[in-house]
Chain A
Amino acid sequence: MEKMEKNKVTLRVNGETYDLLTYPHRTLLEVLREDLELTGAKESCGEGACGSCTILLDGLPVRSCLLLALEVEGRDITTIEGLAAGGRLHPVQEAFVEHHAIQCGICTPGMILTAKALLDATPEPTEEEIRRALSGNICRCTGYAKIVEAIKAASAREK
């Protein structure tokens, strides 16, 4: 095999532009956590089954562990670090805190980003729509009742 070479890639994360050199076999999750030190997205199952590595790609929730970093050049990436603005938490983050929708916290960044994407597209979702949107994110602590409650509250607040 030819010698492995690093590729140049420009990533736009949380509104900032980063020029990076990386090997093509690195995932977006690895680059976010290790190169950009954005450790909000978590590696949990490592095979796309759990949703704890969720980020928003052009506003839609996706698995960063299933994306090669080189594949997302030129796209808009949002991680949990990009939600709070002006020293204030995002309304969905506030609702999660107030409704005790967080326990160990590993699934929380993915849950919040998924909820944000849902509310951006559907400001007043039904409970069924909330549950379908969350169906790709697994929580092993609280169950989902408080998470669904928090999203309903955030939806009402944004109205």
Chain B
Amino acid sequence: MRLPPFQYLAPRTTEEALEMMSRHKGKVRIVAGGTDIVNRLRQRLLTPPYVMSLKGVAGLTGMKRKKNELVIAAGTTLRHIEEAPEVRRSFAGIAQSAGLVAAPPIQNVATIGGNLLQDTRCLFYDQSELVRHAAAPCLKQGGKVCAAVKGNRRCFSVYQGDLAPSLIAFDASVVLKKAGGSRTVPVLGLFSRNGRHPLTIGDDEILTDIIVPIPKGAYGSSYQKLRLRSGLEYPLVSSSVFLSLSRQGVIDQARVVVGAVGPAPTVIEGASLFLVGRRTAEVDVEKAAESAFSASRPIDNLALPGSYRRKMVKVFTKRAIEGALLSLQKAGA
């Protein structure tokens, strides 16, 4: 299947790119690695008048360690992130997320910015034009009702990015630039929780950097992903966990983030109750995982039934907590 025609924009600097975004506001789509957008173009889920390439823009790849943070440029490939010794050592959950995206040939070109900014997905939406046109359009296609929960007026499409849960677990932020301005928002703030328009980035903004604070003291992290086979899969449920210890050897921060159950990653606030304030041997993994189960309501719109995926939220959250505890121990805590 051919891609729909578009005009190609090839800015050389960030300023030029921002100016183009502003001049053609709402009519430009960005191609970075291309692994997500090219398919969306092919399926005619997107038919933008302009596609802007960022390959000629300097400064959009690589990582820099600053005093208290790691700054990852948005155009850095997932392979680069997964293989960087610093990320593997200090941000295990993020390295694991990058290494579990699709398969190595995708990780070789796909970027962290593109992975974060992917649209939500649904069995009734991510189909060829032919299949979509065989039925009435769903909410996300501009129709009146949801096709997955028949007749419902809410869109239940699922955010299936692998990186966001781990970046949220590490309390990361993103830098969004536009002509004449820039803002820094927590990664969680990128999500609207509305399946029809799941991202809050403006259509004249470009995500340029991801800022990950370097945690103090001893800490551990882990990312776990449910998929049908060990390659080429979006998560059907995912769970990312970050735990840190106080000097007294008590867990002082715990962030449990579940992905692929709704239009945005979910921070499981209730899990902290069973983790924070306890020594590692005293945490109640079972109850913490149970709170993730209670907070998740996946429905039947991906390759596995919602009821099964909900049970797996508990299983994978348990594994992620155990993985984070293990990485804490390895860190010498």
Among A4, A7, A46, A57, contact of B108 (Cβ-Cβ < 8 Å): A57
Report Cα–Cα, A75/B49, bound state, in Å: 27
Q: Decide if B149 is an interface residue (CB 8 Å cutoff).
A: no
Q: Decide if B106 is an interface residue (CB 8 Å cutoff).
A: yes
By a CB distance below 8 angstroms, the chain A residues around B53 are 68, 70-71
Question: Is A47's CB under 8 angstroms from B105's CB?
Answer: no
Digit string of A95-111 for contact with B (CB within 8 Å is 1, else 0)? Answer: 00000000000000000
Q: Decide if A157 is an interface residue (CB 8 Å cutoff).
A: no
Q: Which of B30-38, B216-224, B270-278, B300-308 contacts A (4 or more CB under 8 A)?
A: B30-38
Question: Is B108's CB under 8 angstroms from A26's CB?
Answer: no
Question: Is B34's CB under 8 angstroms from A68's CB?
Answer: yes
Residues facing B in A1-21 (CB within 8 A) are 1-2, 4-5, 7
Known: A49-B232, A66-B38. A25 touches B2 (CB 8 A): yes
Residues of chain A at interface, number, CB under 8 A = 35
Q: Decide if A114 is an interface residue (CB 8 Å cutoff).
A: yes
By a CB distance below 8 angstroms, the chain A residues around B41 are 25
Q: How far in angstroms is the closest Cβ of chain B from A137?
A: 8
Known: A61-B108, A66-B35, A68-B34. A135 touches B3 (CB 8 A): no
Q: Decide if B248 is an interface residue (CB 8 Å cutoff).
A: no
User: A-B pairs with CB below 8 Å: how many?
Assistant: 94
Q: How far in angstroms is the closest Cβ of chain A from B314?
A: 27
Q: Decide if B39 is an interface residue (CB 8 Å cutoff).
A: yes
Q: Decide if A67 is an interface residue (CB 8 Å cutoff).
A: yes
By a CB distance below 8 angstroms, the chain B residues around A47 are 39, 42-43
By a CB distance below 8 angstroms, the chain A residues around B3 are 25-27
Digit string of B1-40 for contact with A (CB within 8 Å is 1, else 0)? Answer: 1111111101000000000000000000001001100110
Q: Decide if B297 is an interface residue (CB 8 Å cutoff).
A: no
Residue of A nearest to B4 (CB): A25
Digit string of B92-115 for contact with A (CB within 8 Å is 1, else 0)? Answer: 000000000011111011000000
Question: Is B105's CB under 8 angstroms from A63's CB?
Answer: yes
**B residues adjacent to A (C-beta < 8 A):** 1-8, 10, 31, 34-35, 38-39, 41-43, 49, 51, 53, 55, 79, 102-106, 108-109, 230-232
A/B interface sample: 7 pairs, CB < 8 A: A5-B7, A24-B51, A61-B104, A62-B108, A66-B39, A135-B104, A136-B104
Q: Which 9 A-B pairs have the closest CB atoms?
A: A136-B103, A135-B231, A24-B8, A25-B3, A136-B105, A60-B108, A61-B105, A66-B38, A135-B103
